[in-house]
Amino acid sequence: MDRRKFLINTSVATLAATSLAAKPLSLVSDNEKQNNQAFYLDDNFLFNEITIDQLQEMMKSGKTTSKAVTKLYLDRINAFDKKGPAINAVIEINPDALAIAEKMDMERKSGKIRSKMHGIPVLIKDNIDTADKMMTTAGATALIGNYAKEDAFIVEKLREAGAVLLGKTNLSEWANFRSTRSTSGWSSRGGQTRMPYILDRNPSGSSAGTGAAVAANFCAIGIGTETDGSIISPSSINGLVGIKPTVGLLSRSGIIPISATQDTAGPMGRTVKDAAIFLGILAGVDAQDAITLESKGKVKTDYTLNLSKDGLKGRRIGVEKSFFKRRNEDVIAIFKEALEKIKELGATIVEVDLNSKINAATGDSEFEVLQYEFKDGVNNYLAKANAKVKTLADVIAFNNEHKETAMPYFKQETLISSNLKGDLADKTYLEAVEKSTMSRKIISDMLKENNLDAICGISNGASGCIDVINGDYGTGFSFSGPAATAGYPHITLPMGMLHELPVGISFIADAYQEEEIIKIAYAFEQNTLHRKAPKFIVSAIPKFK
């Protein structure tokens, strides 16, 4: 029997002491490191790759408790996040996590089960307010000390569902809206998050910490946020399923904003079903976020209904053909193999050219919109927050006064350019919004004219190296833009591996069509099973002869 299956079928309490057995990187000799050899941990964690359903079954049968599960995840974070491979994904631990888990166990004993998330440990991104003993800082030292007065709406939903909030994850500072040459996964408060597959690679962002933590099995599932690519990219890079829902499906109140037009939170998990379970928990109408009123009557309480391995049969899938002309032939080969599988599973493939149509129509209008809305949103958030800075101008001044700690590698030109913008009544802003959101009509028309259920593409290429000096460099592939500017749903999931690095495939559709792309993604996942657990390899550099 597989070791992990054996452990899962045995009492958790008696195995807690051995479930973290691993070979620490400190045992790798200097000679081995100098020879540029790749090494990885012998990782036998009890809950590696475990699903929400499996955890629920274990708690239901009495094989474990939420408190025991939570303790093991906290022990793993302690062993792997700051020590061992030092992923540095978790920016703060919730001191109340075990107490919450114990309460959920007591409710379970009394016969009360709140939801499918009852007693399940979760990590969330550090730009989401929690009215507890944890700060909300967006990774910025300027916001240290910001203890929220109220939970974000989605945190209220999380707590109502009985989930256990383990802590908060690191992110690209200000959700990657600080500099044009920033390094994803780095923040002045949290430092650099590392990618668990190969440790010198970038976990992508801005939801870098959530992506790395879920991939490294620090929790059952996590929450990220996206304006453009910040759920999809780190999910793809870290071998996860990420869902960027329709803007309006999930509330943004209590989340440090970038864009009222494009911002949304979303689940990041290791399986399609897990992500779908969490999406249904988090969705809902919030009086404090007017755009959620548009989702009334469109929200599903359960996005896992009618999932089937046959979910691609009879589907018509558009394929973004511009990816076939990109540089990395290995990534393209993985994509082509995925498309062959999609056809084999009964879908019809239709080539489309979505990226070029949207780029031609929208130009650089998106960045214009984001700068205006960032200034407006951050000023409104800070005015009510417990932070020592009360405006975006205050943040800029703080960073200038604390350059050595706040800006040791890259600066804040995006903060500055945003602060120079006018208000949301400016003609320039209104014209930019109209132009940027033309992507909605382009996507909807393309789906309708070609009778498509979804459009697919390469989510991202394989992860690049961490470079705090020069900043991020592109992988040559990205499919986040169209759905991001439109505010339409987007799901990514693994479609293969390239030299130990995950590569993801994306499916996008019309507004509030989450259920349909989840069905499509589930069918692809269950017929391919491409998700691989990370090996915590030290370096991708091979040994040269």
Tell me how far the alpha carbon of residue 296 is from its chain's centroid.
25
Burial of 407 (0-12, 13-18, 19+ CB in 10 A): middle
**How many angstroms separate the CA atoms of 25 and 38, rounded?**
11
Residues in the chain: 545
Tell me which DSSP letter residue 96 carries: T
Beta carbons within 8 Å of 332's beta carbon, 6+ residues apart: 323, 324, 326, 458
The torsion defined by the Cα of 172, 177, 183 and 189, in degrees rounded to 10, comes to -40
Q: Which of 188, 204, 230, 251 is catalytic?
A: 230
Q: Which residues contact 206 (CB under 8 A, 6 or more apart)?
A: 171, 172, 175, 176, 177, 184, 225, 230, 234
CA distance 327 to 238: 21
Distance CA 323, CA 74 (A): 41
Q: b/e string for 410-426 if b means 16 or more Cβ within 10 A?
A: bbbebbbebbebeeeee
Tell me if 255 sits within 8 A of 157, measured CB to CB: no
Query: What residues contact 382, with CB distance under 8 A and at least 6 apart?
Result: 389, 390, 391, 392, 394, 395
- CA-based radius of gyration for the chain: 22
- Alpha-carbon dihedral sign for residues 404, 406, 408, 410: negative
Residue 206: asked if its preceding bond is cis (omega within 30°), the reply is yes
Select which of 71, 116, 125, 421 is catalytic: 125
d(CA 248, CA 374): 18
Q: Which two tokens stand for residue 296?
A: 């009334």
Which helix (H) or strand (E) segment holds residue 410: the answer is: none
* Annotated active-site residue in 179, 188, 206, 233: 206
| In the block, residue with structure tokens 């790749």 | 38
61 catalytic per annotation: no
Q: Which helix (H) or strand (E) holds 203?
A: none
Q: Around 533, how many Cα atoms within 13 Å sit in the side-chain half-sphere? A: 15
Residue of 291, 251, 253, 235 lying closest to 493 (CA atoms): 235
How distant, in Å, are the alpha carbons of 74, 302, 305, 405, 434 from that of 510? Answer: 39, 19, 20, 43, 18
Burial 75-107 (b: 16+ CB within 10 A, else e): ebbebbbeebbbbbbbbbbbeebbebbbbbbeb
Tokens of 353: 């050219």
Annotated catalytic sites, by residue? 125, 206, 230
